[in-house]
Structure 1
Amino acid sequence: MFHSHFPIPASHYNAGELSSEDVELSIRQHPKEALLAVTGKEKFRKPVDPPPILQLKVKPGVDPSQHFLQSPYLFMCCTLWHPEKDEPYKASGSSRSQSLSGGLTSSLHRLKDVNNTDGGFFVFGDVSCKVVGTHRLHFSLYDLRKPRTPSRENYATCLGTITSDKFVVQPAKDFKGLEESTYLSRAFSDQGVRLRLRKEPRAMMGYVFWRFE
C-alpha cells in the first residue's frame, strides 16, 4: 500500500469494492528479448519485445455489468524480477529503480480482444532493461481509493501480482533485431494504444525486395 497526493478522478464506478479474491490476472503476451538500454543513449533505446500485455478479469458475480472496464482507479506497475527466485532483481551498486527505464506503469485500457469481445488490458509498450542477462518482469495491480477519514490522503492497495516468463537482454553487438509485431500488438495499436510496430521480421532486415508489375 502507498499513498498518493493526486486527486481521484470522477467516475460512475465505485472505487474500493474490489478485493484480491475478485480479480484474475493473466499475461496475454510475454516478453522474449530486449536490447540493453544504455544511459545517455536514449535515442537508441528499444523496448522489450514483444511488449508485455496483461488482462484483468473480475468475477461476474462481483461486477455483472463489467463497470471495472471504465475504472480510472485501476493501474499496474512493473519491476525487474529474478529469473529463478521469487524476488526482485538486486542490482549490485545501484538501486532497483535503475534496472528498468521507460513507461513502468499502465492504466487500464478497455479494448476489443481478438475475438471481438471487450476486455480490460494493461499494455507496457515502452519498457527497457539496463541489465544484461536473463530476467523476468513482475507486475502488480493496484486500486486507487479514497480514505475513510477525510483528513487522510488517497491511497492505493495491491489487488494481485503476476510474473512473466524469462526473457533475455543483450548488448547491441549480440542483438539480432526485433521480431515482426504480433497480431495482438497490431490489434491494440489499431485501437489507439501507443506501440512501436515492425512490419518485417528480422530475418528480412538488410535485404532489398523488388516487386514487378
Structure 2
Amino acid sequence: MPHGMDNLLHHEPASSPSPPPRRPSTHSRYHLHVRQQPIAARACGAGDRDRRPVDPPPIVQILLTDFDAESQDDRDILEDPRFTVGCLLFPVSDSSPHIPTPEDLPPEGEDGVARADDTFSTPLLSGKAFMSPFFVNADPDPNSAPTHPSYENENPPSPGLQPNLRNASKLHQPATFFIFADLSIRTAGLYRLQFRLMNWGSVEDTGQSMPILAEAWSDPFRVYPAKDFPGMRDSSILAEGLKELGFVELKTRGKGKGKGRKRE
C-alpha cells in the first residue's frame, strides 16, 4: 500500500466538532458505478485468521462522460494503472438507512481535497480497502453493463444525482473494475460502503495533494451474527467472468452451490 494511503481510512477520532462541508470534485468527467452491490456478510472475529468476506464482493466500475470506445485517449484513461479506489464503512440506522450527512463524513481541506491526515476512523472494517484497477477489453456481462453518461451540452448535475445515460452499444465495450473481494466487518449491524476514486498520477505529476475524482455509495446491507447468517450466494455472471479473465482473488461458487438463496 502506498505511503500515507492507509491513513485515509484509519485515523484518530475527530478533534473538530463540526468539519467543513464537502465540496464536489472539479473532475466531473469521472464517475463511479457500483456494478455489484454487497447484500450480506457474517460478522468476523477480531483476529486476522477469521475472515468472513462481504457477499457478494462489491465491484465498482469507472464511467466516463461521453466515453468513446474508438478513442485511444479514452481507452488510455481506463487503462491507467495509477487509479485506485478506497473504501470507507458507515453504520446506518435500521429505521432510516440514509446516506450519511456531511457531518458524518471525513473532513476535507479548503480546496476540497482529502488529506492523508484527515480525522476519521473505521475500525470495524478489515481486509483490502484499497484496490487497483482491473481493465478488460470487453465487459464479461454486457447485459448488466451500464452505459457511460452523457450530459449533451447540459451542465453537470449536482453531486449525488444520476446523470443522463445515452443509448449506446455495450457489446465488446472495454471496462475498468475495482473488485473488493477481501472486505470483512467485525460487528453485526446495517452498513453502507463509500467508494472514492483517486489517481496517484496527479501526485507524481504535480506534487500536489491527491483529489477525490468521484464517489459512489453502496446500498445498505446487513452484517449478521454467525448464528443468523443465511449463507453465501451463487456467484454472478460478472464475478465468474472477471475471474476467468484473470482476477484470481475472486472466489466463485457455481450455480446451486451458494446457500443464500431466497427462502419461501
Tell me whether the two structures share a fold, i.e. TM-score over 0.5. Answer: yes
Q: Which residue of 1 aligns with 2:192?
A: 136
Q: Name whichever structure is richer in strand by fraction.
A: 1
Identical pairs, percent? 28
Q: How many residues are matched?
A: 182
What is the TM-score of this pair, normalised by structure 2?
Answer: 0.61
In the alignment, the residues of structure 2 paired with residue 157 and residue 62 of structure 1 have an alpha-carbon distance, to the nearest angstrom, of: 24
In the alignment, the residues of structure 1 paired with residue 28 and residue 260 of structure 2 have an alpha-carbon distance, to the nearest angstrom, of: 45
Q: Cα distance 1:159–1:132, how it changes in 2: closer, same or farther (>3 A)? A: same
Q: Which residue of 1 aligns with 2:42?
A: 35
In the alignment, the residues of structure 1 paired with residue 59 and residue 217 of structure 2 have an alpha-carbon distance, to the nearest angstrom, of: 12
8 A Cα contact 2:192 2:219, kept in partner: yes
Q: Which residue of 2 aligns with 1:196?
A: 251
In the alignment, the residues of structure 2 paired with residue 185 and residue 67 of structure 1 have an alpha-carbon distance, to the nearest angstrom, of: 24
* Cα RMSD, aligned residues only: 2.8
- In structure 1, stretches of 5+ residues that fail to align are 7-17, 90-94, 205-213
In the alignment, the residues of structure 2 paired with residue 109 and residue 163 of structure 1 have an alpha-carbon distance, to the nearest angstrom, of: 20
Q: Which residue of 2 aligns with 1:14?
A: none
Q: Cα distance 1:38–1:26, how it changes in 2: closer, same or farther (>3 A)? A: same
8 A Cα contact 1:36 1:169, kept in partner: yes
TM-superposed deviation, 1:20: 2.2
8 A Cα contact 1:106 1:124, kept in partner: yes
TM-superposed deviation, 1:148: 6.7
- In structure 2, stretches of 5+ residues that fail to align are 6-24, 93-97, 107-119, 143-171
Q: Which residue of 1 aligns with 2:231?
A: 177
Give CA deviations for 1:103-139 in whole Å, capped at 9, x if unaligned. 1011111123123421011111111111211101010
TM-superposed deviation, 1:27: 0.9
Give CA deviations for 1:66-104 in whole Å, capped at 9, x if unaligned. 211221221100010233241359xxxxx7231100110
Q: Which residue of 2 aligns with 1:156?
A: 210
**SS of match in other structure, 2:55:** coil
